[in-house]
Structures are given as structure tokens and as C-alpha cells.
């Protein structure tokens, strides 16, 4: 099928032959893959040649000699940065100018053939001015040849990720001239991912083939691969086939398109599911602390968000202590924290240390808050709402004064910043981690509440404070510890959220309303309800975000506000959130006390 429109090119055959050992070499020897010196000399020969055809041939012969430096030289040539230099005696040279310009506009020169600095007879570095030299010329066809070399250079790159990208680019350009190198590469390629994308690229290029059989075969391959990237190309092929009334191709294209669309809805569905679960975990982690302070203790802690922020800032501090240290302004004083100057793996472990630190820091702040303000307000819930809001303002301003009004930089450790792509569904490690972490702290909390003496005291005090007190439980102390536990969980949430969102003075504000919603919907006092409602709200939010843009164009029929709704629904994230809040208000019509009601015989409860 190939030779039908392309004469057998000796160069290409050569390429195919030399690529094989080269690829093996590339895999084994990494950067040493290409013999750089000869390639440079070929380049110089081409640059000095006056015959355009010979130049083209020389350049094309460089194809497949993967060397980033060589590609950079070609790029320099293309942008008039290579110069022809004829010394007084000896042969002409090709040079590149580097370094700063001196007063007369002269720069240090580098010889292209050796890569060494240009020196005069005495061995002193020679400086040249760009204005005095003649740039090496290039024609359109030569530039095209250079581009082809540059594109294909990546095909043999030792790094599979770069090969992947190069193949993808070539495939999407659908350039028939690249077909042979792609097929040659497919024969030697060992990486499964790259093989797959190679097959896709070959099929994409073949979609442009004039022969029906080839196109149908290509469509068959695409159907089998059903990659998302090929959608547009299949659609184009479908349109062309429709215009040409080419029934067999049309059928094949439709089938391929259906396979791709099926795959897309599969990916969308599971992607949404995963995002919903991870958002639910975030909400859960943020709301768990509140489930204790609000749910069990009935304290409306509006500073809960700031407890989260305390955790996030503690993570930031620990990160800095593991790094180069940090100096904080502290109400007029300067508070210096020395750095451990760790790097690499040791530095990366900072996050593991940050977790307990965040817990402790937030727990301490929480205990301080309980002792100084909240303990006076246990019988006045509305007042505790107002007082803790006052505290939240003070804390926010304290963050601003200590850490600045802007967001601070919390770097993700490597083990949290990658992702897995399974079947086109992206699983970010930080998201996977937060899901795992949510499970872990729910389990931990369950253990603390049901299997430890402290948990027993907590439950006793929360269920009937007076009775517990009569039995000798020091309820004051239990209150303090319970509030500390709830705040510490918020701090732990902060450490996590620092990996997902920005860390700034108003970080907590973004979570406070969501957290309260989660607890209210779940049923105040019910940890199980909190878990269920977090995942419910997270899931519904993500589903709305995913499908609102699909539904939005269909809202035009609503009388009066149709256009308005269409317009608004484009902001899926915001509109979804509003719908969730509206849904919660309606949900509370049906179940005013939330999903799980804690039964009580008290009238006012």
C-alpha cells in the first residue's frame, strides 16, 4: 500500500536499517545513543555546500540520529544564528555566537564541527560580531527537510514519554511522508504505550490514503484502539466519506466513531465517579472534625475553617524547616525557624512529619479556644457561633500578618504529584491518597471513639453530661479533649488540602460552609451520616459538573429565562454548586434532621 504514492526512498530504507541498532543503543546507552561528532560534521558540510540538492540530501541523512544538540543546531540555522566564518588561512568554518556582547557588539564564537570555542592562531579566544558575518542561508525546501529531521529525531529518543509525544504529534499531522519511519519504528519499539500510539499514528496517517481498502483497514485499527485523540480525525473521515457517498468507508468510519464514543462515555463515567469519590473524601476529611465539635458537642465552631488553615500552614512550616528555614514576623517580633537543609528523598518525607505536627498544632489552638471562649458558651449555641466567628476573623488576620496576604507555596512531594492513567481515566496520586487517607482517619476515629477509654468518656459526656459528671467523669476535661480532637482532625484535613488547593489566609472560608452542609445533611451527631452525606454531596456535585454542560444547550425552551439558564449553566462548577445547595434545602424539607436522626426525648433538642 505504501509504494502506491511514494517512490521507494533509499534514504528511508537506510534510515529503517540504521534505526534498529540505534534504538537498541538508545535504550541501553541513553544519552550516548547518537554518534555526535560525525553528525555535526555532516551538518557543517551541508552548511558550507553551495548545492541546494546536496544540502537537502545531507540534512535528510541526519534523520534518526537522535541528538538534542543537533536539533538545537538545526533550529539555530533556521533562525539565522549559524554563521559562515572564513579565517585568513585555512578552510571556511561554521560558527555560532554565544555569551554577552561587548562594546563593539562582539561575542564569543563556537565552532560547530568540534563544539569547541573558536581560537585564533595564538590560541586566544576569538570574538566576532554578528554584523560582520554572513548567516548560513536556507531555502524553504531545506527548512522542510530540517523540520523532518527534527521531528523524527524524537522518534528515537531514549525517553519513552518523549517518543510517545513525538509519535502523537506526527500522527496528528497526518503527513504521509512520515509513514515509513513510523512503520519502521513500530517494528523495533518495545514500550507498549508507544507501540499503541504508533499504531494509532500509522492509522491516522493512512486515513489520508487514496485507496479505500487502506482507509477501511485504518478505521478498523482505530476502532480497535478507540483512543479519544482520534475522534476528530474519524469524524473528518466520516464527513469526507459522506460527501463522496463512499458506502464501505462510511460504514467503517461510523463503527470506529461508535467505538470511540462508547469509550468516551465509559471514561467520562468512571472519571466522574472517581472525581466524585475524591471530592467526597475531601469534604469528609474537612467535615470530620466538625462532626465531632458540632455533631457531638453541639458547638458551632465558625473557626473550624481556620483550624484547617492552621494545619495547612503547619505543613508549610514543616516543609520550610526541612528545607532552608523560614523567618516569620510575629506581632513585631521576628521568629526564626532554622532549616535542616535536607534535599532529595529526605526532604520529600517532610509531609509524613507534617501530618502529626498539623494535628498537634490545630489541636493546641482548639484547646486554647475551648478554654478561653467556648467553655463559657456551651449553653448559648448562637453566641458561640458569633464568638467563634470573631475568633476566626482574628486568626485570619493573624495568618495574614505572619504569612502574608498571598498564598504560600506548598510543594507536593513526588509521591503525591504524579498520576496513573488507566484506560484514559486519570487517577491523580494526591486524589487517590486523599481517598485512602479519608478511609484511614474514619477508621482511626472509630477506634478512638469506641475502643479507647477516652472515647468511652467522650460518648458518655456527650450523651448525658450531667449523668456522666455524677459518675465522676471530669466533663470539663473531656470537653477540652474532645474539642482538641475535633480541631486536630481539622488540622489533619488542612495538611491534606494543602496538597490539593492553595494555602492562603482565607483557605478555611472555602470549606466552612461545605463542612457544615455535610454535617447537617448527614444528621448532626451521626458520624456514619457524615460519611454518607460527604460522598453523596461530592458525587452529585461532580455529576452535575460533568453533565450540566451537556444539558445546558437544551434549556432554551424554558419560558422567559431559557437563554439566561443556558448562559448560566455554562459555568458548570458554580451552577452545580448552587444546585447542590438548593438541593440540600429541599432535602431538609423531607428529612429536617438529616439522613440519620439521633433520637432524643428532649423537646428542645
Give the three-state DSSP class for 299. Answer: coil
Rg of the Cα atoms in the chain: 33
By C-beta, is 352 or 513 nearer to another protein? 513
Please enumerate in sequence order all residues whose Cβ is within 8 A of that of 284, keeping only pairs 6 or more positions apart, or say none.
Answer: 438, 442, 518, 530, 531, 534, 535, 538
We find the least distance from the C-beta atom of residue 519 to another protein, in angstroms, to be 9
Q: How many Å apart are CA 300 and CA 294, to the nearest integer?
A: 6
By C-beta, is 353 or 389 nearer to another protein? 389
We find the least distance from the C-beta atom of residue 320 to another protein, in angstroms, to be 23
Q: Which element (helix H / strand E) includes 595? A: none
Q: How many Å apart are CA 477 and CA 247, to the nearest integer?
A: 81
We find the least distance from the C-beta atom of residue 278 to another protein, in angstroms, to be 21
Q: How many Å apart are CA 53 and CA 316, to the nearest integer?
A: 61
We find the least distance from the C-beta atom of residue 310 to another protein, in angstroms, to be 16
By C-beta, is 228 or 335 nearer to another protein? 335
We find the least distance from the C-beta atom of residue 515 to another protein, in angstroms, to be 10
By C-beta, is 377 or 500 nearer to another protein? 377
We find the least distance from the C-beta atom of residue 331 to another protein, in angstroms, to be 10
Instruction: Tell me the torsion sign for CA atoms 592, 595, 601, 605.
Output: negative
User: Is beta strand 333-337 parallel, antiparallel or unpaired with respect to 419-422?
Assistant: unpaired
Q: What are phi and psi of 279, to 5 degrees?
A: -65, -40
Q: How far is residue 53 from each of residues 60, 106, 150, measured CA to CA in Å? A: 11, 34, 19
Chain centroid, CA 491 distance in Å: 24
By C-beta, is 337 or 582 nearer to another protein? 582
Closest to 398 measured CA to CA, from 371, 421, 369, 377: 369
We find the least distance from the C-beta atom of residue 470 to another protein, in angstroms, to be 23
By C-beta, is 423 or 589 nearer to another protein? 589
We find the least distance from the C-beta atom of residue 384 to another protein, in angstroms, to be 8
By C-beta, is 257 or 391 nearer to another protein? 391
By C-beta, is 325 or 553 nearer to another protein? 553
Q: How many Å apart are CA 70 and CA 310, to the nearest integer?
A: 52
By C-beta, is 32 or 405 nearer to another protein? 405
Q: Is the Cβ–Cβ distance between 304 and 517 less than 8 Å?
A: no
Q: Is the Cβ–Cβ distance between 368 and 278 less than 8 Å?
A: no
* Residue written as grid cell 458554580: 574
We find the least distance from the C-beta atom of residue 394 to another protein, in angstroms, to be 4
Q: How many Å apart are CA 272 and CA 257, to the nearest integer?
A: 22
Q: How many Å apart are CA 263 and CA 557, to the nearest integer?
A: 31
- Grid cell, residue 196, equals 499503541
- Grid cell, residue 143, equals 527548512
Give the three-state DSSP class for 216. Answer: helix
We find the least distance from the C-beta atom of residue 392 to another protein, in angstroms, to be 7
By C-beta, is 214 or 509 nearer to another protein? 509
We find the least distance from the C-beta atom of residue 398 to another protein, in angstroms, to be 7
Burial class (CB in 10 A: 0-12, 13-18, 19+), 384: buried
By C-beta, is 378 or 429 nearer to another protein? 378
Q: How many Å apart are CA 274 and CA 272, to the nearest integer?
A: 5
Residues interacting with another protein, by CB under 8 A? 298, 300, 373, 376-377, 379-383, 385-387, 389-394, 396-398, 400-401, 509, 513, 516-517, 520, 561, 563-564, 567-568, 570-571, 574-575, 577-578, 581-582, 584-586, 588-589, 592, 603-605
Amino acid at each position: 500500500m505504501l509504494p502506491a504514492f511514494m517512490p521507494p526512498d533509499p534514504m528511508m530504507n537506510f534510515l529503517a536499517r540504521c534505526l534498529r541498532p540505534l534504538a537498541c543503543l538508545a535504550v541501553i546507552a541513553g544519552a550516548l545513543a547518537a554518534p555526535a561528532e560525525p553528525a555535526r560534521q555532516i551538518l557543517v558540510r551541508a552548511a558550507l555546500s553551495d548545492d541546494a540538492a546536496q544540502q537537502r540530501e545531507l540534512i535528510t541523512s541526519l534523520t534518526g540520529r537522535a541528538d538534542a544538540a543537533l536539533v538545537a543546531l538545526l533550529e539555530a540555522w533556521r533562525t539565522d544564528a549559524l554563521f559562515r566564518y572564513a579565517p585568513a588561512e585555512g578552510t571556511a568554518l561554521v560558527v555560532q555566537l554565544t555569551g554577552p556582547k561587548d562594546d563593539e557588539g562582539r561575542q564569543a564564537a563556537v565552532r560547530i564541527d568540534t563544539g569547541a570555542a573558536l581560537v585564533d592562531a595564538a590560541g586566544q579566544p576569538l570574538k566576532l560580531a554578528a554584523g560582520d558575518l554572513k548567516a548560513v542561508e536556507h531555502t524553504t525546501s531545506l527548512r522542510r527537510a530540517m523540520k523532518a529531521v527534527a521531528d523524527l529525531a524524537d522518534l528515537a529518543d531514549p525517553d519513552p514519554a518523549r517518543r510517545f509525544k513525538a509519535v502523537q504529534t506526527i500522527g496528528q499531522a497526518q503527513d504521509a511522508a512520515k509513514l515509513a519511519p513510523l512503520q519502521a519504528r513500530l517494528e523495533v519499539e518495545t514500550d507498549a504505550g508507544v507501540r499503541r500510539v504508533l499504531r494509532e499514528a500509522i492509522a491516522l496517517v493512512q486515513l489520508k490514503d487514496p485507496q479505500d481498502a487502506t482507509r477501511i483497514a485504518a478505521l478498523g485499527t482505530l476502532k480497535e484502539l478507540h483512543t479519544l485523540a482520534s475522534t476528530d480525525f474519524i469524524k473528518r473521515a466520516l464527513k469526507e466519506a459522506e460527501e463522496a457517498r463512499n458506502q464501505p468507508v462510511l460504514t467503517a468510519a461510523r463503527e470506529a466513531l461508535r467505538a470511540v464514543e462508547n469509550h468516551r462515555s465509559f471514561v467520562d463515567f468512571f472519571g466522574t465517579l472517581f472525581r466524585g469519590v475524591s471530592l467526597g473524601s475531601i469534604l469528609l476529611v474537612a467535615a470530620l472534625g466538625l462532626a465531632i465539635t458540632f455533631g457531638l458537642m453541639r458547638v458551632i465552631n465558625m473557626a473550624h475553617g481556620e483550624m484547617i488553615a492552621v494545619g495547612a500552614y503547619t505543613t508549610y512550616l514543616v516543609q520550610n524547616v526541612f528545607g532552608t528555614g523560614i523567618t516569620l514576623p510575629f506581632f513585631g517580633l521576628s521568629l526564626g525557624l532554622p532549616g535542616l537543609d535536607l534535599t532529595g528523598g529526605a526532604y520529600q518525607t517532610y509531609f509524613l512529619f507534617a501530618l502529626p505536627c498539623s494535628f498537634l498544632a490545630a489541636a493546641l489552638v482548639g484547646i486554647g479556644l475551648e478554654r478561653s471562649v467556648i467553655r463559657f458558651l456551651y449553653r448559648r449555641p448562637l453566641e458561640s457561633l458569633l464568638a467563634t466567628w470573631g475568633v476566626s476573623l482574628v486568626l485570619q488576620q493573624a495568618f495574614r500578618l505572619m504569612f502574608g496576604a498571598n498564598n504560600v507555596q506548598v510543594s507536593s512531594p513526588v509521591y503525591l504529584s504524579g498520576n496513573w492513567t488507566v484506560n484514559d481515566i486519570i487517577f491523580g496520586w494526591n486524589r487517590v491518597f486523599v481517598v485512602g487517607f479519608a478511609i484511614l482517619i474514619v477508621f482511626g476515629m472509630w477506634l478512638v471513639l469506641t475502643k479507647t477509654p477516652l472515647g468511652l468518656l467522650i460518648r458518655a459526656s456527650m450523651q448525658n453530661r450531667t449523668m456522666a459528671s455524677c459518675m465522676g467523669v471530669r466533663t470539663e476535661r473531656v470537653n477540652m479533649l474532645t474539642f482538641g480532637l475535633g480541631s486536630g482532625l481539622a488540622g489533619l484535613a488542612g495538611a491534606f488540602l494543602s496538597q490539593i488547593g492553595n494555602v492562603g489566609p482565607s483557605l478555611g472560608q472555602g470549606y466552612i460552609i461545605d463542612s457544615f452542609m455535610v454535617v447537617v445533611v448527614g444528621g448532626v451527631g451521626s458520624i456514619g451520616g457524615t460519611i454518607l452525606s460527604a460522598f453523596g454531596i461530592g458525587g452529585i456535585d461532580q455529576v452535575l459538573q460533568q453533565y450540566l454542560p451537556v444539558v445546558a444547550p437544551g434549556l432554551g425552551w424554558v419560558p422567559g429565562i431559557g437563554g439566561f439558564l443556558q448562559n448560566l449553566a455554562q459555568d458548570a462548577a458554580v451552577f452545580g454548586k448552587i444546585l447542590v445547595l438548593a438541593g440540600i434545602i429541599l432535602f431538609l424539607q423531607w428529612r429536617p434532621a438529616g439522613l440519620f436522626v439521633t433520637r432524643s426525648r428532649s423537646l428542645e433538642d
